[in-house]
Amino acid sequence: MENTEQLQKELTAEVTAAADMKALEELRVAILGKKGRITEMMKGLGAMPAEERKEAGKTLNILKSKVEEALESRKQVLEVQELNAKLADEKIDVTLPVRPEKQGRIHPVSKIFEEVTAIFGEMGFSVAEGPDIEDQFHNFNALNMPANHPARQMQDTFYIPNPDSEDKDDSFVVRTHTSPVQIRTMEKQQPPIRIIAPGRTYRSDYDATHTPMFHQVEGLVIGKDITMAHLKGCLYDFVKAFFELDNIPVRYRPSFFPFTEPSAEMDIGCLKSKNELKIGAGTDWLEILGCGMVHPNVLCAGGIDPDVYQGFAFGVGLDRLAMLKYGIPDLRTFFESDIRWLKHYGFVPLDISSMTGGLSNNGGAAR
Ligand code: PHE
């Protein structure tokens, strides 16, 4: 019989040197498998004389268990190594965006919603909502536009048939402006009221600066001593914050809306040159919103006593603001769902707009 001590040394050395689980398993088979080295030696025992066999059997059993021990301890070491390698390999750095090249973008209109909400939120306004599909009472009548009022024609209304009535006055509309939210808010809440209502609005119109669906934000403030001075101060602060300028010339031109009296349009100072529009300086003016003191008839329609309360309201076209602020030339592209456009004009989702942390986060990460 071979020198088992020497053999044990050799075999344990081989086992300890096994580089991975596969090599270790191959070694196990080569030593202890059906035709393994020790197995073959065990088979040889039968041919030995009885007295030798006993001694040799004992020695072989010791050799076998030593090798088994070596196999087991090497197995444990390799298992830990392989687990560690796998963990290292599958490590995910959760602090990095997943597939940054595939990261989505926030649409400029959503960004403007966020910015406007952040600005008015800071001034103590809350956000109110109303339905896109309105009845004529909220969209027109309660806003001082009774049936056949000529101002109804100004709005290129989309009507929706009312399945329960043939009467044209009962048909629904997709709201032509966010002003019906004024009425819905008054119906629910007594003054003081200080809300903005951003949302979708609809008119039958289509060119580079008009789309059938567009976005507005309505503002409504009602209290006991609200005056036109509050309106002016509030909107001045808004445009400065919105355009992120310390100073911006503004002017109010007399205008007409059935639901405000007096009514005005607000312009901001700008410089129009051939290829550029610079906001905040220069000799030109740009109209940006409609506003006025809430008409007493509107307060009455909303269940508020005009002898006790008064207020101001305004309505801003958000799409136009987005075009102005982010230099987007054609409104129709907003709604084409072109991923290249969104990559260019969109915003990184995690850059939340706030008055303290920055509104536009420097004009979008795409540029
Ligand atoms: N609703 C008006 C429009 O869509 C804007 C407006 C709102 C004007 C509130 C005055 C007060 O044109």
3-state secondary structure of 200: strand
Which CATH number describes the domain made up of 108-345? 3.30.930.10
Q: What is the pLDDT of residue 98?
A: 65
Q: 5 or 111: whose pLDDT is higher?
A: 111
Contact assessment for residue 298 and residue 142, using Cβ atoms and an 8 Å cutoff: yes
Q: Which helix (H) or strand (E) holds 293?
A: strand 284-294
Ligand 1 atom nearest to CA at 291: 10
The DSSP output letter for 106 is B
CA 241 to ligand 1 centroid distance, Å: 21
Answer whether 179 contacts ligand 1 (Cβ < 6 A): yes
Q: 178 or 60: whose pLDDT is higher?
A: 178
Among positive and negative, which fits the CA dihedral 114, 119, 120, 122?
A: positive
CA 314 to ligand 1 centroid distance, Å: 6
pLDDT band per the 50, 70, 90 thresholds, residue 363? very low
Across the range 242-254, mean pLDDT stands at 95
Across the range 124-152, mean pLDDT stands at 94
Is pTM beyond 0.85? Reply is no
Q: What are the residue ranges spanned by the domains of the chain?
A: 4-89, 108-345
Mean pLDDT for all residues in the chain: 91
Predicted confidence (pLDDT) per residue in 99-119, tens digit? 766 778 999 999 999 999 999
Contact assessment for residue 158 and residue 228, using Cβ atoms and an 8 Å cutoff: no
pLDDT above 50: residue 12: yes
Q: Are strands 133-134 and 213-223 parallel, antiparallel or unpaired?
A: unpaired
Predicted confidence (pLDDT) per residue in 55-100, tens digit? 888 999 999 999 999 999 999 999 999 999 999 999 887 776 667 6
Predicted confidence (pLDDT) per residue in 142-171, tens digit? 999 998 888 787 778 999 999 999 888 899
pLDDT above 60: residue 364: no
